Chains A and B, each alone.
Chain A
Amino acid sequence: MSENILVIGGGPAGLNAAVMLSELGVNVALVERDSFLGGNPKKFKYKFLFPDMQPADNVIGELIKRAESGGNIKVYYSSEVSDFKENGKKFDAVIKSASGSETKTFDSVIVATGFEHFDPARDAKYSYQLFDDVIDIKDLERMMGENNFVRPSNGKPPKKVAFILCVGSRDRHVGNQYCSRVCCTVSVKQAIEMREHFPDCEAYIFYMDIRTYGFFEDLYWKAMEEHDVQIVKGRIAEITSGPDNTVVCKGEDTLLRGPFEIPFDMVVLASGMEGGPQSPEISSKLGIELDEHGFLKPENVTLSPFKSNKPGVFLAGACTGPKAISDSITEGAAAAMNAYTYAVKNR
């Protein structure tokens, strides 16, 4: 008799967990709220992934292909876990989808519900959604993915673009004190892509700290040394409109000491990551802990970052905090191993 394991969420972490479990001969139920697999990278059409600029399809597309061709995975699209109960060491879950509800017993559960992009409209000073030419990194990623890199206001290619880091991250004012980890690298990557494909478009990055941790630092150096991306130290406090249909970034150059108001054709906000509404929802449904940042809380952040406080329920990917796609994939595998061990022990 083979094990039954429930995986909630079909992003990079959930997909990899499902694929690994399927290879072990486990029957996997993969519950996905959207009508497609791939999570945020698919939803927002990420095109190239850092650090090596490989096509996102190589990673996300490959995972989806493996999940779809893996014989032991049953994917429930546009569905959710509507009810969840412990049953001894096992779990009874009701999976609700368009075609009706299905109750099943699972040996263990992997939660990979992921993150939500911070909505920059919540931080009014950046005038997101008020000015057409103020977009955020996920919008730019989609524009690049669709080969449609133009100013939303007039459809012309921009000549001068500003990237603003730490939007919705490291900011008590918006309620997120943590660093979202990847936005610096994503912004630097996008600046490189932009300069590669549109060499006459200048790129400026307004930063407080640039946190391209580990080897991602290479991208930061490359952006400056090979693509002449200019970095400016200072946070932007206001975005207003300027002459000739420009958007003006008002800030302080903290190195030169003094205010500036510079017009740009387009502003890209490096919006961070949030636990989203799904994290508290799944936390109360499954009876697992939520942390003070709005993400799911691991049992021990260092020893077992992939375990929840409830035995048999495991965590993977960005649902426990902001992280890169590679980290999510690694955690998917780690959670799969642990979920499998738990299932076999309590057979």
Chain B
Amino acid sequence: MAIEKHDKENSGGGRPVAEKGEHIVARHLIEDDNIKEEKNLVIDGVDVSGRWNTFIISRVNSEFDRSFFEEIKKTVAGSRINRCWQCGMCTASCTVTPLYRRFNPRAFIYMMQLGNLKELKKYIDVAWRCVGCYKCSQRCPKQVNPAEMMEALALVIKKYFPEEVKTKLKLDEEVKKIYEDMIIGHGRLDLAKLHTYAIQKSGRTKELLGKIERDAIFKMVKDGRAFSVLRLGKPHNWSSSKEAMENYLRKLNTIENTEAGV
């Protein structure tokens, strides 16, 4: 069977073709990726361009791709992927999820376990939103370390979908700024600051100092828990690390600027 595919330009005019999947009844039920349609296609000399070759790819998953799981497991950040049992503690703890509901560490880890790249691809725009507060890793009952799993995810997405990452990936510039300030300024993530930001952004500042909170803070001051946070200093020999990071960021900016032709 001879199959010929033509670019529209080369097909020498040809008859007008419908938009992809345009004629399908209940088109809204089917995602773009599930419709296979060549605008110009000739099979055995018969022109079946457009709607004649429309094919709806099955929406039923027919495979668990374990090779992907193995690949993640070999990385340092993703080595504990086999521990996850989908309890949802990570997403429940997440600083980012209340702002971007589609950012769901539990679901991402599950997709990675099953090798469901097709599903993962839909979340490229939010895949890099992890702010690294590590609340998930601190609370995870299986110590999967979801925070670093998100790092593994980001790298994987970059590897498998380089084009989409370039066009679709969005960073939250505000978070990036706060994050950089915290790391460079203090050498540690300031959870209180990240939280305040998140709460401000969602407009729920009133909740911060309710009666129960005030009582709880009083209790924590009384039994000394509140002060343990203050005792944490900057990391050892921080000034040289800070300098190295600033240099790196400066260099990175220069490179980006050069690439962009600035």
Contacts and interface: CB of A to CB of B under 8 A. Distances in A.
B131 to A, nearest CB: 15
A223 interface: no
A253 B85 CA distance: 14
Nearest to B214: A241
B122 interface: no
B104 A258 contact: yes
Contacts of B135: 237
Contacts of B89: 235, 237, 252
A79 interface: no
B54 to A, nearest CB: 31
Contacts of B93: 125, 237-238
Nearest to A250: B92
Contacts of A257: 104, 107
B106 A235 contact: no
A125 B135 CA distance: 10
A235 B107 contact: no
A44 interface: no
Contact of B87 (A125, A247, A254): A254
A312 to B, nearest CB: 39
Interface in B118-159: 135, 138-143
Nearest to B213: A241
For chain A, give the interface size range: 20 to 34
A127 B87 contact: no
* Most A C-beta atoms less than 10 A away, residue of B85, B87, B101, B140: B87
A258 B101 contact: yes
B48 to A, nearest CB: 39
B210 to A, nearest CB: 5
A130 B223 CA distance: 11
Contact of A173 (B85, B138, B216): B138
How many B residues touch the partner, as a band?
20 to 34
A170 B143 CA distance: 11
Contacts of A172: 140-143
B212 A241 contact: yes
Interface in A247-305: 247, 250-254, 257-259, 261
A235 B87 contact: yes
Interface in B81-108: 85-89, 91-94, 97-98, 101, 104, 106-107
A235 B88 contact: yes
A131 interface: yes
Most buried by B among A131, A208, A240, A259: A259
Nearest to A125: B139
A34 to B, nearest CB: 27
A170 B98 CA distance: 26
B141 A238 contact: no
Contacts of B213: 240-241
Nearest to B204: A261
B207 interface: yes
B141 A259 contact: no
A135 to B, nearest CB: 14
Nearest to B98: A259
Nearest to A240: B207
A261 B220 CA distance: 24
A173 B87 contact: no
B93, B135, B143, B211 pick with most chain A CB within 10 angstroms = B93
A166, A172, A236, A237: which has the most chain B beta carbons within 10 Å?
A: A237
A173 B143 contact: yes
B182 to A, nearest CB: 21
Interface string B6-43: 00000000000000000000000000000000000000
Contacts of B220: 130
B216 A171 contact: no
B106 A254 contact: yes
Interface of A: 125, 127, 129-131, 166, 170-173, 208, 233-238, 240-242, 245, 247, 250-254, 257-259, 261
16 contacts: A127-B216, A130-B219, A131-B216, A166-B141, A172-B140, A172-B142, A173-B139, A234-B88, A235-B87, A236-B92, A237-B93, A241-B211, A241-B213, A251-B92, A258-B97, A259-B97
Given A130-B216, A254-B86, A257-B107, 18 more contacts: A125-B139, A131-B212, A170-B141, A173-B138, A173-B139, A173-B143, A234-B88, A237-B92, A237-B139, A241-B207, A241-B210, A252-B89, A252-B92, A258-B104, A259-B92, A259-B97, A259-B98, A259-B101
7 cross-chain pairs, A with B, having the tightest CB-CB distances, nearest first: A237-B92, A241-B212, A252-B88, A171-B141, A252-B91, A237-B93, A254-B88
